[in-house]
Amino acid sequence: MGISVRLLQPSSVKPIEMASHAAKLCYNAKTPELGELLNVKNALFKTGHHTTLEHTYYTFAIEGISVGDVTLGFHLANTFYNTDQRSGRYCTEMFANPDMTEINQYIRTYWPELSDQQIWEITDYVALSIEIYNRYKGEAAVHAADVFRSQRPNFPKKNLEAQADKVAQEQMRALIPVIMPTAIDYTINLTTVVALYKSAFTPVMRAVTAMMADEVVKHDPRTRFMFIRDPAKNWSPSFASSSPHLVKEPKCELLSVDGIWNFTMPEEEICHPVDQLHFRPEMMNNSIGSVTTRLTLSLMTMGQNQRHRTVHRSAPSFTGGFYIPPLLARCKGLRKEYLALAERWNLLSRTLPPTLAAIIAPYGTMVTYTTRGDFLALIHEHSKRLCWNAQEEIYNLSRQLREQIAKLCGKKSPLLAIFEPPCSRHGKCLEGKRCCGRNIQIRNTRTNYYPRRVA
């Protein structure tokens, strides 16, 4: 589980040339030639004229980093990125049989102050979570198949068992610590590389951004002056003092809706397949209104939530709760074992560096934070969340928000159109072979089209 960082597709124009060209263009009537250099360090970097550095982009392939160091690290505060991450929903081998020796070495490398006893306690706890996961996953898959047969009558029978197994795996992840290794393709501009390097707030972030800086300096040695770091300062997340407890569902609390008179619902072709929301003049007024919520959700779904970078979020804090997804709740005996596992993490977290305690928390650990998004962000965020192909927890959060907006703004509020999957609007599924299989004709009846999901 050693982390590797590899630079993909470095720009053919070196960053010093590009920054010089951009700066000269601003102050000359004639477009400059590439190669006409400024003293970038003194004229641009030290003076803070960093838009000139943003014309150079880098894509890094980062392998072997933990899920927790992405969710509670690289994706936590920085919104200036494009990332594709190895999916825990599909790559089930991440959880079934992880390399415990590599996890041990990951901890030793980035938290060298720990004793052997502490590391053994952590790896024993991780191994126990894997053992419980493997022991109950089959039973959860049986429950998922039963739910599919009753709630998704049109799902292809030949695919039902495989899909039920996938959904069971999704929910069973709640037991697994987020220290599991993953990989990301990470695209950011030069200014963001430098800002991340200087602000890195965990041991893993400092190590990875140092590797990223090395790759940039290899690409253009003249950039070395940009990468000077202040003494390390770790982020210390807020942990609950209460005893661990199991939580049956996430919570979305609507705090406010502003500027609803500016709202215009876009036509579908503006949103799909190319999202043009931020590019069409007729949509500009949608950036004035906003929705503010308080979310309490699992680390598993926090990572999903971070994909929507135009939504602003406060710092998360741990609540002391642990999400038990519906399929897990149906497994006899699992509640007791899950709670014991949560208590074990809680005891460990009291004696460990906070940055490590956070990334050995189970996926199901509940965190809370405030979000605010304008209507454009809301449309983009929720356009697929009430589709039954969405993850159960993310669907139920969107369902709660829809209900609260209807209560606050009225059942005829135009905002409710944001929370309608295509099948609700026109009776057609846009997912092709991935159709969820539910009976979408109930949209023409008084039956609740947005029930609480189980699987």
Contacts of 191 (CB under 8 A, 6+ apart): 50, 51, 53, 54
CA proximity to 232, closest of 208, 200, 191:
200
pLDDT at 168 over 70: yes
pLDDT at 97 over 90: no
| Mean per-residue pLDDT, 23-50 | 94
Helices (H) and strands (E) in the chain, counts: 17, 10
Instruction: Report which residue type is found at 441.
Output: Q
- 9: confidence class by pLDDT, cuts 50, 70, 90: confident
* Cβ neighbour number for residue 408 with a 10 Å cutoff: 13
pLDDT at 24 over 90: yes
Among the listed ranges 183-187, 329-333, 445-449, which one has the minimum average pLDDT value? 445-449
Q: What percent of the chain has pLDDT over 70?
A: 99
Place of tokens 């929370």: 419
Q: Are 88 and 67 in contact (CB under 8 A)?
A: yes
Please say whether the dihedral angle defined by the alpha carbons of residues 48, 52, 55 and 60, taken in this order, is positive or negative. Answer: negative
| Mean per-residue pLDDT, 95-109 | 91
Dihedral, CA atoms, 374, 87, 298, 125, nearest 10 degrees? Answer: -160
Alpha helices in 410-452 (DSSP H): 422-426
| Mean per-residue pLDDT, 442-453 | 89
Alpha carbon distance 170, 172 (integer Å): 6
* Cβ neighbour number for residue 112 with a 10 Å cutoff: 8
| Mean per-residue pLDDT, 37-47 | 95
Q: What pLDDT is attached to residue 5?
A: 98
Contacts of 243 (CB under 8 A, 6+ apart): 320, 343, 346
| Mean per-residue pLDDT, 46-69 | 96
pLDDT in tens, 376-422: 999 989 988 999 999 999 999 999 999 999 999 999 999 999 998 88
| The CATH number of domain 4-91+180-226, selected from 1.10.1040.50, 3.30.1360.170, 3.40.1010.10, 3.40.50.2000 | 3.30.1360.170
| Mean per-residue pLDDT, 242-255 | 96
Which conformational region is residue 48 in: left (phi greater than 0), alpha (psi within -120 to 50 degrees), or beta?
A: left
Q: Strand 317-323 to strand 290-298: parallel, antiparallel, or no bridges (unpaired)? A: unpaired
Alpha carbon distance 382, 402 (integer Å): 10
Q: Three-state SS across 203-225?
A: HHHHHHHHHHHHHHHHHCHHHHH
pLDDT at 91 over 80: no
Segment holding 371, helix H or strand E: strand 365-374
pLDDT in tens, 266-308: 998 898 889 999 999 999 999 999 999 999 999 999 999 998 8
pLDDT at 8 over 80: yes
Q: Strand 365-374 to strand 290-298: parallel, antiparallel, or no bridges (unpaired)? A: antiparallel
Q: What pLDDT is attached to residue 89?
A: 64
| Mean per-residue pLDDT, 167-190 | 96
| Mean per-residue pLDDT, 154-165 | 93
Q: What is the DSSP string of 113-139?
A: TS-HHHHHHHHHHHHHHHHHHHHHHHH
- 160: confidence class by pLDDT, cuts 50, 70, 90: very high
Q: Give, rounded to a whole angstrom, the gap between the first and last alpha carbons of the chain.
A: 32
CA proximity to 450, closest of 432, 405, 430:
405
Alpha carbon distance 167, 327 (integer Å): 9
Instruction: Report the chain's mean pLDDT, rounded to a whole number.
Output: 94
pLDDT at 1 over 80: no
DSSP state of 42: I
Q: What pLDDT is attached to residue 169?
A: 94
HSE-up of residue 394 (Cα within 13 Å, Cβ side): 22
* 220's tokens: 């253009």
pLDDT at 92 over 70: no
* 173's tokens: 């992840």
69, exposed or middle or buried, with CB in 10 Å at 0-12, 13-18, 19+? buried
- 426: confidence class by pLDDT, cuts 50, 70, 90: confident
- 90: confidence class by pLDDT, cuts 50, 70, 90: low
Alpha carbon distance 407, 413 (integer Å): 10
DSSP state of 354: H
User: CA of 430: how far to CAs of 272, 389, 425, in Å?
Assistant: 10, 11, 12
| Mean per-residue pLDDT, 423-446 | 87
